[in-house]
A and B are shown apart, each in its own frame.
Chain A
Amino acid sequence: MSVKKFVVGCFDDEKVLFPAVTKVRKAGYKLQDVYTPFPVHGLDKAMGLRDTSLHTAGFIFGLIGTTTAVTFMSWVFTKDWPVNIGGKPHFALPAWIPITFELTVLCAAVGMVLTFCYICQLAPFIKKHHFHPRATDDLFVMVIECTSKTNEHELKNFLDAAGAIESNIQVVEDGWWIGRYDRDQQLYKEPIVA
């Protein structure tokens, strides 16, 4: 966690947003993120983000579920306490498919959701700085991190020229902390330069 300076540009149309993203990246600015009210198809590619490998995690969790189910049931029925059930063999694989399947799905789903929450830092009482309240309504909020070399006013003009309907400079806490949303979201009192 650290306090950083960001230049924020808000767009209200995807058609403007995409070229703006390209321009910002071409100019070499450090694009922190674009906050959008809905998943904008292709924006991750345009921003140069790599594909997520969340589904691989899901596959591994699923395998864990499968293995757990099969080994546990075979241990119970062939080693720990073999019971004759309807004259079926102790290793009654066809009868174990349903539970094996359910456990596979359960582990994959629960594991993936937890992984997702962990890597995106999502949980109750987690608080992050929100650059614009309308980012969950109708604005695409582009946030650029200022480095030591960045001239923020020039950058702000650059964003305005690229079609931002609103832009400002914010000095805020980066990252997440434990907090409540009914409290003021501004941790640092620096005035927002409009």
Chain B
Amino acid sequence: MIKQHFEASAGYRKWTLGLLAVGGLILVLGFIFLGLSKDEHSQTRFWAVLLQNSTYFLLVVNASMFFICVTCLALGGWQMAFRRVPEAISTLVPVFSGIALVIFLYLIFGPNHHIYHWTDKGHIEHDSILKGKSGFLNPWFFLIWSIVAMGMWSWAGAKMRQLSSEADERPMENDEAKNFHRRNTVWAAIFTVAFGLTVGSTIPWFWLMSIDAHWYSTMYSWYTFASTFVSGMALIALFVVYLKNRDYLEWVNQEHLQDLGKFMFAFTIFWTYLWYSQFMLIWYANIPEETIYFKVRMHGPYRAIFFLNLILNFVLPFLLLMTRGSKRNYTVMTFLAILIVFGHWLDFYQMVMPGALGEHYSLGWFEFGILALYAGLIMHFVGKALAKKPLVSVNHPLLKESIIHHA
């Protein structure tokens, strides 16, 4: 008989608790030694790391719902056998939204202006560019739009999950199935449009690009999207492999894993494509207002991270995921999924830190501690969400296609 309900094993609980305890302890220590420090750089470090992690992981878990919605709109069937996994991951959106909101509130209304320079009213007076931008870069617009965006993701996502539960109840007749699919499509479309208006454009400008407040790049949001989507796929793959190793998800096999691998591979290339386009165009035109962004990253103190970013997020996944065999191998996929999630975490690190801390950055106990905290939070909440519902919605009209799926 199929193991339909996930039960967190002792090992899983131990790891979750461990990560949460370590992360929580480091958060407290960080607050005491950095957050409350008199040193401005330490203070900024504390908040910048929180900002980096909260935005990164929020966008990564949100990518799960985006994946569900686009596959639904494209009438994909192959993902049905493991669709509850991205669903469970997407339950984190409201949680991480809440955390991010607290951090934003402090950053835009609090006394620290090193991260968002445009929040410093005194400074804006002497800065004609930031003054000109204040129609967009102002605390209230930032706050309200962030809340609206988070609300839309959470709400449409909740609707999608709720619809998904309907397929647990009983088999559907043909017309019923069509109607069910139509309603799914409508909500998926709503989510996708909302996603385009936020993640695809405005939200990364607010949350991240405004750290380098003078600088601008039209590509920025799509680049951020690519970065978080590929990590989102990696996170899904990670949980699928874990569940499969624990004998859950009986109908998932290497065929599905290979397709997840294809997504990781394809979007790795897509990310690289956007990275290259943005970098090359700025490098080629050589306009000082624009090159400043890469000057500090490529020739300044972030040089190592700049190149490591390319190795972790392009070279390794590109070479290692190229063959069919590697995408069907559980160990290789686990390794690469962890690599990608970490690689793009580092990508976000180099998006946030140069503007906030400049050369005073450090990558040490606090950074990795918060990373551990977020890993623990993801394990805790996803584990809880997985346990709540059956792992497969048995009567979904597309599930049978997923069972006989061939990559």
* A and B interact physically: yes
Chain B residue total in the interface (Cβ 8 A): 8
Minimum CB distance partner of A95 in chain B: B284
A94–B286 touching, CB < 8 Å: no
- Shortest Cβ distance from A95 into chain B, in angstroms? 7
Within the assembled complex, what's the spacing in Å between the Cα atoms of A87 and B291? 15
A87 touches B286 (CB 8 A): yes
Q: Which residues of B contact A87 (CB under 8 A)?
A: 286
B155 is an interface residue with CB less than 8 A from chain A: no
The verdict on A187 contacting chain B, using a C-beta distance below 8 Å, is no
Q: Confirm or deny: A165 has a beta carbon within 8 angstroms of a beta carbon on chain B.
A: no
- CB-contacts of B206-253 with A (<8 A): none
The yes or no answer to B279 lying at the interface (CB within 8 A) is yes
- Cβ–Cβ < 8 Å partners of A97 in chain B: 276, 280
Task: Give the docked Cα–Cα distance between A80 and B186 (Å).
Answer: 61
B255 CB to nearest chain A CB (Å): 13
15 CB contacts below 8 A, A to B, read: A41-B406, A59-B322, A86-B284, A86-B286, A87-B286, A88-B284, A94-B276, A94-B279, A94-B280, A94-B283, A94-B284, A95-B280, A95-B284, A97-B276, A97-B280
Chain B nearest CB, measured from A158 CB (Å): 32
Identify whether the interface residues of B are mostly helix, strand, loop, or mixed: helix
Determine the distance from Cα of A94 to Cα of B406 in the docked complex, in whole angstroms.
39
Task: Find chain B residues with CB under 8 A from A94 CB.
Answer: 276, 279-280, 283-284
Cβ-closest 6 pairs across A and B: A94-B280, A94-B283, A97-B276, A95-B284, A94-B279, A97-B280
Interface residues of A in 54-69 (CB under 8 A from B): 59
Q: In the complex, which residues of chain A have a beta carbon less than 8 angstroms from the beta carbon of B406? A: 41
The smallest beta-carbon distance between B254 and chain A, in angstroms, is: 15
In the complex, how many angstroms separate the beta carbon of A48 from the nearest chain B beta carbon?
Answer: 19
**What separation, in Å, do the CA atoms of A59 and B319 have in the docked complex?**
11
Interface size on A, residues (CB 8 A): 8
**What per-residue 1/0 map shows which CB atoms of B275-305 lie under 8 Å from chain A?**
0100110011010000000000000000000
Q: How far is the CB of B287 from chain A (nearest CB, A)?
A: 12
Residue with the highest number of chain B CB atoms closer than 10 Å, among A88, A94, A95: A94
Q: How far is the CA of A182 from the CA of B210 in the complex (A)?
A: 72
How distant is the Cα of A97 from the Cα of B275 in the complex, in angstroms?
A: 13
Q: How far is the CA of A96 from the CA of B138 in the complex (A)?
A: 41
Q: How far is the CA of A87 from the CA of B284 in the complex (A)?
A: 10
A130 to B342 CA separation, bound complex (whole angstroms):
57
Tell me the minimal C-beta distance from B311 to chain A in angstroms. Answer: 15
| Interchain CA distance A87-B288 in the complex, whole Å | 14
Q: Please, what's the 1-or-0 string for A82-119, where 1 marks a CB less than 8 Å from any CB in chain B?
A: 00001110000011010000000000000000000000
Q: Separation in Å of the A181 CB from the closest CB of chain B?
A: 36
Q: How far is the CA of A41 from the CA of B405 in the complex (A)?
A: 13
Residues of B close to A95: CB separation below 8 A? 280, 284
Q: Please report the C-alpha to C-alpha distance between residue A41 and residue B407 in the assembled complex, in whole angstroms.
A: 12
Question: Shortest distance in angstroms between A40's beta carbon and chain B's nearest beta carbon?
Answer: 14
Knowing that A94-B280, A97-B276 touch, tell me 13 more A-B residue pairs with CB under 8 angstroms.
Answer: A41-B406, A59-B322, A86-B284, A86-B286, A87-B286, A88-B284, A94-B276, A94-B279, A94-B283, A94-B284, A95-B280, A95-B284, A97-B280
The docked-state distance in angstroms from the alpha carbon of A135 to that of B283 is: 58
> A87–B286 Cα gap in the complex (Å)?
10
Residues of chain B lying within 8 A (CB to CB) of residue A86: 284, 286
How far, in whole Å, are A12 and B375 apart by their CA atoms in the complex? Answer: 57
Residues of chain B contacted by A59 (CB below 8 angstroms) = 322
Question: Chain A residues with Cβ under 8 A from B276's Cβ?
Answer: 94, 97
- A185 CB, min distance to chain B CBs, angstroms: 37
**Bound CA–CA A106/B284 (angstroms):** 25
| Residues of B307-326 whose CB lies within 8 A of A | 322
